[in-house]
Amino acid sequence: MAHITTNVRPTHMTFAPMGIARRIALALGAARQRRHLAQLDDAMLRDIGLSREAARAEARRPLWDVPPSWLR
């Protein structure tokens, strides 16, 4: 039986230092925005078209949970 090896890394396993730094910055930015969203009063939430419950749900999302469009 032959064993074949390659020197190619899977792309999902490759982490460039700038990629990691960017992801951390995005996660911290999302956390900051969610904290601010949680502090808005009901009138401000109505102005942006969100209910109090929707704002709470967004504020509870995990730090690493950012929109896919941010990762491009």
**The one-letter amino acid at 46:** R
Those residues with Cβ within 8 angstroms of residue 27's Cβ, 6 or more apart along the chain or in another chain = 63, 64, 66
pLDDT tens per residue across all 72 residues of the chain: 455 555 555 555 555 566 888 889 999 999 999 999 999 999 999 999 999 999 999 999 998 888 888 777
Tokens 């709470």 locate to 56
- Amino acid 34: pLDDT: 95
Is the pTM here over 0.75, yes or no?
no
Q: How far is CA 15 from the centre of its chain?
A: 17
- Amino acid 1: pLDDT: 45
CA 30 to CA 70: how far, in whole Å? 10
